[in-house]
Amino acid sequence: MNTITAAITAVGGYVPDFVLSNKVLETMVETNDEWITTRTGIKERRILKDADKGTSYLAIKAAQDLIAKANIDPLEIDMIIMATATPDMMVASTGVYVATEIGATNAFAYDLQAACSSFLYGMSTAAAYVQSGRYKKVLLIGADKMSSIVDYTDRATCIIFGDGAGAVLFEPNYEGLGLQDEYLRSDGVGRDFLKIPAGGSLIPPSEETVKNRQHNIMQDGKTVFKYAVTNMADASELILQRNNLTNQDVDWLVPHQANKRIIDATAGRLELDDSKVLVNIERYGNTTSGTLPLVLADFEDKLKKGDNVIFAAFGGGFTWGSIYLKWAYDKK
């Protein structure tokens, strides 16, 4: 029997219509377009304005885009992994609701949360299920409505985040394509540097926590930046070394879209030409779990069968890592 590898066979994406540009942010907080662009590379981000729609709406749209483009029957999907840091609600799984809404009623589903590394961790998990031979079609969705947890009076965070979702389908491959290797890590030292302080079991919601804006995302930008630059670059470099790859062997780097300077530092460590680095941060900002699949959705035309693709991400907690994948198809 041939060895099973887990390959991405389809992608989909969705971003809301409303554009929050740097110019608009200038009217909301003390900042300006030049300052934001220089430090982050972000020009605009998309925001889901509907008060009655949550992360599930974004995820459903991205999944439906994939299903339509790939022309697959949702009933054939075996399982769904919902990578998100902003679930619709506590306890009731967002992934379970999404599965039902897209008609994937034969699938079991659950949520996976590792902050901005959620989708990267989800790739490892989805691939493992496929490689086990038990499941044939695993849908991995990365989606976040970051506007629901951003304090728009805090210029340190409100300039960074946007809303969006992407989805990929993992299926068995017998040509040696798909996920080749992974290096995933975490360190609890990051707990205090990037977090939402209240709302969990440690500090339950109260009138005081709401008043103190403790349900919004907070970060120590300098510390997070330092750890992100070092760890994303280290993980990516190690993946290349471990698989005897040179920068010439890498066709594409798909980095988490948190900050253009972090992306540049990772590419620089690998000595990759800018033409090999896929970037859309200028249009969407940091969509957290949505960044990696949105990059794939935006640049699907460029990806060719057999291409060596390196993924890298870093998130709160801290969580980080890199994945080496061989692309499995040419877009029709």
Beta bridge partners of 63: none
Helix axes 260-269, 33-40, angle to 10 degrees: 30
**Distance from C-alpha of 313 to C-alpha of 194, rounded to nearest angstrom:** 15
**Distance from C-alpha of 235 to C-alpha of 227, rounded to nearest angstrom:** 12
CA distances from 106 to 77, 79, 135, 137 (A): 7, 8, 12, 11
What amino acid occupies position 209? T
Between the CA atoms of 233, 236, 237 and 241, what dihedral angle is there, to the nearest 10 degrees?
Answer: 170
Can you give 87-98 as a three-state secondary structure string? CCCCCCCHHHHH
CA distances from 221 to 64, 208, 258, 278 (A): 35, 25, 11, 24
- Among candidate residues 52, 65, 56, the one with its CA nearest the CA of residue 14: 65
Q: How many CB atoms lie within 10 A of CB 125?
A: 17
Which positions are annotated as active-site residues?
Answer: 116, 256, 286
